[in-house]
Amino acid sequence: MKTFIFSATALALGICATAQTQKTITAPTPQPYATTGATIGGNFSDIDQIAVGNSAVVQQQGTANGSFISQTGANATNLNVIDVLQWGNVQPSISGHLNYSDIEQNGEGNAFTARQQGDENQNFGTQIGLNNEALVQQGANVPQQAENNLAIVDQDGKDNFAEVQQRFDNSEASIVQRNDAVMGLGNRSYQEQIANPNQSAGHLAIGTQYGNNNELVQMQEGPGLGNYAEANQGDAITGATNVFAQQLQLGELNEAFVDQKGTGNTAFQEQTGMSNSAVASQADNPITGANLYVEQYQDGTSNRAESKQNGSNNEAYQEQYGLSNFSRIEQRGGVNPSLGNVATSLQDGTLNNSFIEQKARNNNAMVDQTGNGQTSIVTQNLSSNSAPNGHGTNTATVIQRNANVPLTPQVQRAAATKRHTFNQS
């Protein structure tokens, strides 16, 4: 995991670069289709369907099984359905081991469900068209030895839904959605990873969405250390409009990263535990944004929250409870001098640090700290290439109170009730 080192000079000036480093999922090369034999080591199934109204069901029990399914459709009541189940007790302590599922669907109204129970299973799912749905479940409630699983879902079209559920340890999930939406129909992505006591290594979840009006939710929890969640929405060329990302992590040494490019976008990050890191980057160069909104909530010790916004009329809220936490907000002003940005930092505990940096004009900064040994630095009127009309007319308020002083406490803002949900398949 990353180690963050802060010098006395950096803390004094409030100058710290974004510490998060984006990760990638290195997917193995998908296994080739075979025409004969159980080339993977166990049982082998190959289904190739062309035309409309196709349906396929595959159930394989044991270890090292392989399933390949390809469908091509052209409506016929908007069908094409696949259901794959790979499971089985191959040893007293292992259920379903080294199974492989490869699914390809091309057309309208495609849907697949892939369920794998056990260790070191892989699922590759590709859908092209519109109204696609994908559900991947790896791991079972009983037994609970599921580890080192991989799920990759790739969808192209609009109004698609993809969900990956993984239990219990050290699994990886990747969902990519490309939205060619017309009339505002976006895609939805949901990743849920839960670790249980058995080894309990951290999970890795990466979600990537292109286009507008997309939604992405990632949830990771359990006693395991070092979960990583990454949400990427939009690209540096066209950006993205009205996209939503939410990340929830429970545990220690977790990392959450959101990268959104464009305008009208929203990000929520929530972490409970120790030594966690949350970074939100909205409309960072070269795309300039507007009407951006981010909330970051952390409860624990030695946590870190950073948000960066570029453009006008943006809002950033950070809230931390506990000891030795660090928060930083950087807002670059837009070209419209009448629309400033809003930054709010709430901290309750001991030895917390808050830094707010705002550029251009008409910005508002608010810091409210409760407890002992707090540090707050607000810097406004910083130079900004995106604000040629000058600076000024900024407002900054800093409230620092000892916990024993009977003052009205700050209001919890980014609590779990703020969580966004959508209907899941």
pLDDT digits (tens, 9 = 90+) for 60-85: 888 888 899 888 766 667 677 889 99
111/64 same-domain check: yes
Above 60 in pLDDT, residue 391? yes
Q: Which residue has the higher pLDDT, 384 or 133?
A: 133
Above 80 in pLDDT, residue 120? yes
- Is 133 inside any structural domain? yes
417 pLDDT band (50/70/90 cuts)? very low
195/251 same-domain check: no
207/335 same-domain check: no
Among 139-143, 172-176, 320-324, the minimum mean pLDDT is found in 139-143
Among 68-82, 109-123, 144-158, the minimum mean pLDDT is found in 68-82
55/194 same-domain check: yes
Nearest alpha carbon to residue 33 among 20, 14, 48: 48
185/307 same-domain check: no
- Listed residues 224, 251, 268: the one ending a domain: 224
Nearest alpha carbon to residue 107 among 58, 51, 160, 69: 51
243/365 same-domain check: yes
Counted domains in the chain: 2
391/253 same-domain check: yes
- Listed residues 195, 224, 253: the one ending a domain: 224
For residue 202, the 8-state DSSP code is P
256 pairs with which residues across the strands?
229, 278
Most distant CA pair in the chain, distance: 78
Q: How far apart, in whole angstroms, are the C-alpha atoms of residue 253 and residue 257?
A: 13
274/302 same-domain check: yes
* 201-227 per-residue burial string, b: 16 or more CB within 10 A, e: under 16: bbbbbbbbbbbbbbbbbbbbbbebbbb
- Is 356 inside any structural domain? yes
Q: How far apart, in whole angstroms, are the C-alpha atoms of residue 342 and residue 259?
A: 19
Q: For position 137, what pLDDT does the model report?
A: 92
211/253 same-domain check: no
- Listed residues 178, 206, 224: the one ending a domain: 224
- Is 194 inside any structural domain? yes
Query: pLDDT averaged over the chain?
Result: 79
Above 80 in pLDDT, residue 190? yes
Mean pLDDT of 28-32: 63
Q: For position 135, what pLDDT does the model report?
A: 95
219/89 same-domain check: yes
Its domain, for residue 203, covers: 51-224
Above 90 in pLDDT, residue 408? no
Q: Which helix (H) or strand (E) holds 9?
A: helix 8-13
341/262 same-domain check: yes
Q: How far apart, in whole angstroms, are the C-alpha atoms of residue 361 and residue 382?
A: 9
For residue 10, the 8-state DSSP code is H
